Structures are given as C-alpha cells and as structure tokens.
A and B are shown apart, each in its own frame.
Chain A
Amino acid sequence: MSPSFWLYLIASLAGVTCALSGIYLVLRRQAMLADAISHSILPGLVAGFWIAHGPNLIAGFVGAVAAGLTTTMLVEGLTRTKKIANDSAIGLVFPAMFAIGVIWISLQFSNVHLDTDSVLFGEITLAVFDRFVIGGRDLGPQSVWILLAALVLNIAYLVLFRKELRIATFDADHAWLQGFDSRVIHYSLMVVVTITSVAAFTAIGAILSVALIIVPAVIARLLSNRLVPIILVTLTVGLMSALIGTSTAIAGDLNIPGLVSVFLGVIFGMTLLFSPHQGIIAERAKRARQRMHFAIQSLLIHIHEHENTPEEATESTLEHLSDEFGWSDSWSHSVAHNAEKRGLLSLNQPIIRLTEKGRKEIQPGN
C-alpha cells in the first residue's frame, strides 16, 4: 500500500480518536486540561526512555501515562488547598512538568535527537515509515496500531461508563447523593485523554492532538444540546477536517497538522457565525426581532392611550414618535410600517389609528 494511503489512515484515525475523547472533557468544561496533559507527558516519555535505556515504545507509553496522571493529581491537590485557583494550578503544573522534561533531555540525551519542535509539531510524514514488524511480516505503520488501540479504548470507555459519565457530568449533586464519587470519573477520563494524547502525538504532534480533542466537541456543542447528535457531529468534524486538511496539505506541500488545525478553525468560525442554535447571526436576528417586537408594543400602547383625546392630533403622529420615545426618524418609520404590515395599525390618515387586531394585541392577558 502506498505511503499516502497510510498517511490518510493515520490522520483519520487520529481525528476520530482524539475527537471522541474530547466530548466529555468539553462537556465537563475542562478543555484546557488536554493542553496541560499534552505538554506534561514530556518528562514521562523521557523517564520511560531513561529506564529502558533507549526510545522503547512501551516504556515511554507507561511513563507518559504516569506523567499525565501526576499532572491531574497535582492540579486537583493544589486546587483542594483552596489557596490556588484551579486555572492557576493548571497554569503552574504543566510548565513545571515540561521544564523538568526539557532539563532532563538536556542532561541525559544531549546526543540523542529528541527535540521539542517535533514533540510540538509532530512528524506525521515520518510516522508512516515507522513500521510494525512481527516475525518478519510488515503490518503497516506502528502509529496505525497504536491509534486503533486508543480508538477501541475510547469506544469501550464511552459505552461501559455511559451512565456514570452522564450522571457525573450533568448532575454531580445527584451522583453524590447516590453515593457515587465523581472523582472516579474525573480520573478515569483523564487516563483515557492522556492515553489518547500519547497515542496521537507521536504521529501528529502535541498541538494538533489537543486541537482534535477540543475543537470538534466545542463545535458540536454549538450545534446541539443532545448527547447523540453531539457525538455524531464531533466524529464527523474530526474525520472531515483530518481528511480535508491532509489532502490540501499534500497538494500544497504544507504542514499537515497545522493545516488540519486551520480547517478545524474554519469549521469553528462558520459554526460560530451560522449555527441556528446559538450562532452569532441567529443571536443577532433574535435580538433584532425582540427589539422590534418591544418597540411595536410600546407604539401600540402609546396610540391606545391617546385615542379619542384632545391631544391625539399631536400625540398620535409619526413625527411625534421621536420626541416621545427618543427614536430616530428612520427607526420610527420602520417600527410604524412594520406594525402596519402586521395589520396592527393604519397609517393612511395623518393620525395613526389602531386596527381591531392592534387593539387585541395590547389587551391584558394577550
């Protein structure tokens, strides 16, 4: 099979796996923990390699997962002292972990090529050539198998713990009353996210794995409030951006992980603007509708109050509205014409008159 086939396979597997592990992380409002974990696994990798006397895959994996868990526990512990806010704790712990990793590398492995650039940016093109060979048989790139294992783990976790995840996320008090400790879910979720980051980052780098963990779930959250649609949108966005980003990057000879993030950004931007659920445009339109509705109500009440009074000739004219409400002339016009279009009043005479429908509109209880 050609290298580009494996490239697409690695990218899509990473996209789907990371996206899946991010769903509950985003729902639990802990997205930045993914960023923290992805950086703080560095000393774990180094420790693993140090114990195994070389870049041993399993040792590195175990070390990285241990480092991810350590980070989670340190953040929890610091927050629980009540002397440090949670965000400060995160902002302190992961740079400290990363710093230990960098110093350790400079002391132990100054002759080995383990630079922080490739940790951050990833080397997906090299991942293709890291083959998994058993008994002389080439079974494809190692990354494919690692990511497949992580994908199976994610699916199993979401299925087996679906009830606990849901209770702990959406109703922590209820969970507590039932004698269920939400911390179990917190730590197990962190283990899954850590394993996913480690599996993904050898192939696609720390930053893209964080992007694929956070952004698809955030996009899905903008589009729906229900769990099943959120899962489906998350998976689709993860897969699509991985595939489109990879193919565009190959065509233009650009950085693959970077371009996948850019595509995630494009989808995020469009969702932010156009989401019918809580997008900016939908929100603006809703606010404009409410503003118009309120203005029409005020106008109708004003006309009704002066109906058949001596002041009606001056009060109930279009020109007077700017004095009465402080409206601009154009806004007065558009409010009055809008109300006329809805059949609430008539503008045919110099004095504005309510229609039957307009009178009903402002009746109490309507």
Chain B
Amino acid sequence: MSWFNDYTLRTVILGTSLLGLFSGALGCIAVLRRQSLVGDTLAHASLPGICLAYLLFRSREALPLMLGAAFAGLIAMGIVSVTQRATKTDPNSALGTVLTIFFGAGAVILGIIQRGHDAGQAGLDKFLFGQAASLVTSQVVAIATIGLISLFVFAMVFKEFKLLAFDPIFAESVGLPVRRTNIILTGLLVGAVVVGLNTVGVILLSAMLVAPGVAARQWTDQLVKMVVLAGLFGCLGGGLGAYLSTVAAEMPTGPVVVLVLVAWVVISLIIGPAKGIAFRAKRRQEATS
C-alpha cells in the first residue's frame, strides 16, 4: 500500500472523497427539486466573486475565495428567483441568462487581474478549472469545514425539505415558511458548489452534484436512504476517480472522477432495484409466466 504513505496522494484522495460525500448528499436537493442546472449556474456565476475576493484580499487562500464564490452565487440565485417571480420567464431562460452574464463579468475582472502581472495571480484560473491533483491540507480542511456545516444545516431543515420536495402546495398550506426554507436550501447548494469548485472546476461540477443523487434514486424510494446512498456513492466515486487518475494513469483528476460517477449512474440505471431496467424486465417476465 505504497500510495497510502504518499502524502500528496493521500491528501488528494481524502479531499476528493470528502467533496464527493458532501456534494453527493447535498446534490439530492437539486435532483429532487428539478434544479439540477442550478449547480451549473452557481458554478459559473461564482467567477466574478472569486476574482473580486482575490482583488480585495490579494490572496489565493481557499477560504476568502470560497466566500467570494458563495456571495456571487447567492446574488445570482437571487436574480434568477426575482426574474422568475416577477415575469413569465421560464427557469431555463432565467438560469442561462444569469449564468452567462455573471461568467462574462468574471472574465472581464479576470482579464484586469491578469493584466496586472502580479505573481500572486498565477493559478487563479486553476481555482476555476479544478486542481484536484494539487490539493493541499488547508484546502481539505476548508472542504471538510464548509461541508460539515452544510450537512448539519441540511439535517436541521430535513423535514421541511422533505415536504417541499414532494408536496410544495401542502407544505405551504400547513404554514411551512416556504420562502425561508427555499433560501436555506439554495444556500446549501451554494455551499456544495463552492466546496467543489476547488477540486473539479466549474464545468464538471454539475455532474458531481447530480450524478450521486440520480444513481442513489435508482436504488431506493426513501429520502433518507437516498441522501445517505448519494453521499456514499459520491465519496467512493471521488476516491476511486482520484486514485485511478493519479496511480493507474496520468490523467486529470476532475474529469476521471466525473466519468467514474456517470458510469455508476449508467450501471445503477440498468441494475438498480428501485426503478432498474433489469429489475423491471425480470418482473415483467415473472408476471407473464
């Protein structure tokens, strides 16, 4: 087990597994509420936040950049929600509009930073495109901190989330604070996105959020089990992906993790007992014979 003694490798695998755990569990929010593309929007929209945080603090420490990303993400989701509530704009249009505008604004600020030629900015775009292979301990600690806080909050609002996800009209009629719960749930997604940006980057992030939840859905019909399974799948997929990418082949970590998770979705679709294709075929056969 030589890889276990390799400090860098251990950090990368630990960080990616933790990320998979958190984004998998929290991603169930997005999967069940038909908000899978929110993760993609949040990830893109974080760019101006990251750049502004860098300009403000002049540091590439993970925490200030994550805070900047979270701030920009929340503003972006606020605009999406105002647009949808005030006008007849459909969710896809609102998300696409906000995503591209925020990312464009981020590109402008990034251009200004890069024009400055100061040495500190080198690698700022790595934050954007993922840098799993160069994860350091402080980043893993940041991932664990934000992730644990998010999971704790998720557990607190779990009952409300359950109602909102399956019967929003009933939830409203029994006096559930729908708007506040919505804001908290969106905040949790922001947390998951911010944690993931560091590792897999903007584009691959939506798969980190969505894939474990979709796979878990094929194995169970119960919400608690789904969230636990999604966390487990995310964790295992993240760890396996990181291991494969560095040990078995010289490949970029983020994409390998995503492909491992997507492959598991396909397998779950076919053999998963809850809604699996194979299971349904077997049942049909039993019914006819």
Q: Which chain B residue lies CB-closest to A107?
A: B251
Interface string of B11-42 (1 = CB under 8 A from A): 00000000000000000001100111101100
Is B230 among interface residues, defined by CB-CB distance under 8 A?
A: no
Give the contacting residue for B104; candidates A33, A96, A218, A265; CB below 8 A.
A265
Contact at B107–A257, with CB atoms within 8 Å? Answer: yes
Is A92 among interface residues, defined by CB-CB distance under 8 A?
A: yes
Q: What is the bound-complex CA distance between A83 and B266, given in angstroms?
A: 11
Contact at B115–A253, with CB atoms within 8 Å? Answer: yes
B246 nearest CB across to chain A (Å): 13
Which residues from A are CB-within-8-Å of B210? 88, 91-92
Which residues from B are CB-within-8-Å of A283? 86-87
Is A15 among interface residues, defined by CB-CB distance under 8 A?
A: no
Q: What is the bound-complex CA distance between A348 and B105, given in angstroms?
A: 59
Q: Which chain A residue lies CB-closest to B257?
A: A99
A352 nearest CB across to chain B (Å): 36
Question: For chains A and B in complex, what number of residue pairs have CB atoms within 8 angstroms?
Answer: 193
Contact at B93–A218, with CB atoms within 8 Å? Answer: yes
Contact at B107–A207, with CB atoms within 8 Å? Answer: yes
Q: What is the bound-complex CA distance between A103 and B31, given in angstroms?
A: 26
Interface string of A135-153 (1 = CB under 8 A from B): 0000000000000000000
Is B243 among interface residues, defined by CB-CB distance under 8 A?
A: no
Is A106 among interface residues, defined by CB-CB distance under 8 A?
A: yes
Interface size on A, residues (CB 8 A): 59
Interface size on B, residues (CB 8 A): 64
Which residues from B are CB-within-8-Å of A217? 93
Q: What is the bound-complex CA distance between A88 and B216, given in angstroms?
A: 13
With A117-B125, A215-B100, A257-B107 as given contacts, are A280 and B86 in contact (CB-CB < 8 Å)? yes
Contact at A214–B93, with CB atoms within 8 Å? Answer: yes
Contact at B36–A29, with CB atoms within 8 Å? Answer: no
A213 nearest CB across to chain B (Å): 8
Give the contacting residue for B36; candidates A91, A107, A259; CB below 8 A.
A91
With A90-B36, A100-B255 as given contacts, are A95 and B206 in contact (CB-CB < 8 Å)? yes
Is A121 among interface residues, defined by CB-CB distance under 8 A?
A: yes
A279 nearest CB across to chain B (Å): 8
Contact at A268–B101, with CB atoms within 8 Å? Answer: yes
Which residues from A are CB-within-8-Å of B181? none
Q: Which chain B residue lies CB-closest to A42?
A: B203
Which residues from A are CB-within-8-Å of B112? 254
Contact at A92–B211, with CB atoms within 8 Å? Answer: yes
Q: What is the bound-complex CA distance between A97 and B160, given in angstroms?
A: 35
Contact at B34–A85, with CB atoms within 8 Å? Answer: yes
Q: Which residues of B (80-126) have their CB < 8 Å from a CB of A?
A: 82-83, 86-97, 99-108, 110-112, 115, 125
Q: What is the bound-complex CA distance between A261 and B111, given in angstroms?
A: 14
Q: What is the bound-complex CA distance between A261 and B45, given in angstroms?
A: 13
Q: What is the bound-complex CA distance between A257 and B203, given in angstroms?
A: 18
Which residues from B are CB-within-8-Å of A117? 125, 129
> Shortest 7 CB-CB distances between A and B: which pairs?
A261-B104, A258-B107, A211-B100, A99-B255, A95-B207, A265-B101, A255-B111
